[in-house]
Amino acid sequence: MKRTSSVGKKMSGGKAGASSAGAARVRKSATRGAGVAGGAVRKAVPEAAPAAAPQDVAARRPGRPSGAARGAQQRDRLLDAALELFARQGIVDTTLGEIAREAGFTPAMMHYYFKTREQLLDVLIDERIGPLRAGLGVPFQEHADDPVAAITQLAQRMVRGAVEHPWFPSLWVREVISDSGLLRQRMHERFGDANQKMSLSAIERWQKEGLLNAALEPSLMFVTLLGLTVLPLATSKLWRNDPKRRQVGGEEIARHAVALLTQGIGPKKAQ
């Protein structure tokens, strides 16, 4: 009986152990299941995307204009500032940094558009100075057989160009009439002296045909016109406070130049 009881206890203990082991296995399985399920849930929910980097600002090179700052308007402001400073203090004494500050930009912005002063000069000649210069040759083409009309119109064009482009008189006197002017050298490299030869040839032909005073020196004609038209406007700031001359403007200068060229300093001849 004792043996039977002992066996019963062992059997009872074995059942209990089996039950405990089974429960442990169930808990472990449940834990693994929960882990798998949790992983599945985590995979099912996408992670938040990282914030996008500000491409326009971060990727832009220093000095490069952005957004509304791009375009021809900013470039034109730099060209205007360059002409203003070149006329005021000369090309050699003007740096790209000064031009940028005059236009209200940084030197980096200036460098974005124009890498060197030579490049800037070429653009100014092509877009601003060249067209103005080309217009001065039109009167000789339109009035090939009428020297008085051609020279009169040339004088008027010079004055009009100086009035419409305030930088023109000072820049022309400083950088073109002067032998050492950097602009003169650059323009000669670009255009040569074809226009000058054409004008001299026309004047000499008019003299031979009896249409123009033979005592005139052809090579001084253009310089004379500049002295009568552009030079007074280039120095106008010096006499703006003079009550006798401050009322003199482009119209008066053009009229004076034409009268002097066509009638000289003698009294007007009776018709």
The string of pLDDT tens digits covering residues 210-251 is: 999 999 999 999 999 999 999 988 888 777 788 878 788 888
- Cα dist. 256→157, 188, 243 in Å? 14, 31, 19
- Cα dist. 240→122, 167, 174, 235 in Å? 34, 17, 20, 9
Q: Predicted confidence band at 34 (pLDDT cuts at 50, 70, 90)?
A: very low
CATH 1.25.40.10 fits 69-115, yes or no: no
Q: Predicted confidence band at 263 (pLDDT cuts at 50, 70, 90)?
A: confident
Predicted confidence at residue 70, as pLDDT, reads 60
Higher pLDDT, 214 or 29: 214
Q: Which amino acid is at 106?
A: T
Joined tokens for residue 182: 């950097």
User: 109 Cβ partners below 8 Å, 6+ apart?
Assistant: 63, 65, 74, 78, 100
Higher pLDDT, 52 or 248: 248
Average pLDDT over all residues of the chain: 78
**132-263 CATH pick, 2.40.160.60, 1.10.357.10, 1.10.8.60, 3.30.420.310:** 1.10.357.10
| 8-28 pLDDT tens trace | 444 444 444 444 444 444 344
Q: Do 69-115 and 132-263 have matching folds?
A: no
| 178-199 pLDDT tens trace | 878 889 999 989 888 888 888 8
Q: Where are the domains of the chain?
A: 69-115, 132-263
